[in-house]
Amino acid sequence: MQEQSLKTVDKVAKIFCSSVKEVIDASTGMSVGYAPTIQDVPSISLKPDLGCFVQFTGDYSGLFIMNLSKEASLEIYTKAMSFMGLPDEEISKDFDSDEVVNYIGEIINQVIGKARQKIETRYGLSANNNQPKAITISSAITLSVATMLDKPECRKIAFRTDDRNPFYVEMNLEKTEFICLEPQASSESKAIQDHVDDVLENGLDNGAAKSGTSQEEIGDLMAELGLD
């Protein structure tokens, strides 16, 4: 499905998905994957074995949740600690330990920061978030998080770790549509910027020789972009 045809809540869900993957991949050296299907669900909640959540408010408002199996939470924590060089004997082996819970809380803190930055860059809209919270949950308990949103739209996306352990991203968003009033930068402008970046990196003579562009033309391009 093309990006233009997606509802705003689904576009935001995609941004959160990519943010989750980028943060976990960079922290652990893994390559987590998520399903190509976004589920439209009636509500979201904290579920076993480890749940974490953060609320965001501002130009847009909603709630972001990650629900992890004990296997997934322990795998993510263990691989992150090993990736940072922590000795095996210092790595916790219990998914409900403070070390694991706190680390997963830090993950969601990084995710919400990255997602907010992407939304602000793409849409010019900003939001703030409260302190993320992570808790262990027994198999008999499901917890709902109260928000001030009236009939929010809810989404759920399934993830898998390298070892195929499941975890889930759930989010809701106030009923809203992001309608861009200004066109995005054209591919031509991007090509010009890429060319100038190459010149700045390799030098005027080298850049001109590689592209067949004269120094005078390069100067004109740089002036056009306000880089002279």
Terminus-to-terminus CA distance in the chain, angstroms? Answer: 41
Q: What's the average model confidence in pLDDT over 44-64?
A: 97
pLDDT tens digits along 139-192: 888 999 988 899 999 999 999 999 999 999 999 999 999 998 876 654 445 555
In angstroms, the Cα distances linking 86 to 73, 79, 169, 172 are 17, 10, 28, 36
**HSE value, Cβ hemisphere, 13 Å, CA-based, for 153:** 16
Q: What's the average model confidence in pLDDT over 3-26?
A: 93
- Cα maximum dimension of the chain: 72
Average pLDDT of the residues of the chain: 86
Position 113 pLDDT exceeds 50: yes
Higher pLDDT, 4 or 165: 165
Position 212 pLDDT exceeds 50: no
Question: pTM to 2 decimals?
Answer: 0.78
Rg (CA), the chain: 22
pLDDT tens digits along 63-90: 999 999 999 999 999 999 999 999 999 9
Pairing between β-strand 133-136 and β-strand 166-173 as defined by DSSP bridges: unpaired
Residues 6+ apart with CB under 8 A from 84: none
Measured in degrees and rounded to the nearest 5, phi and psi for residue 12 equal -65, -40
Position 112 pLDDT exceeds 60: yes
Query: Exposed/middle/buried for 76, CB within 10 Å: 0-12, 13-18, 19+?
Result: buried
Pick from 48, 51, 52, 17: which is nearest to 35 by CA? 17
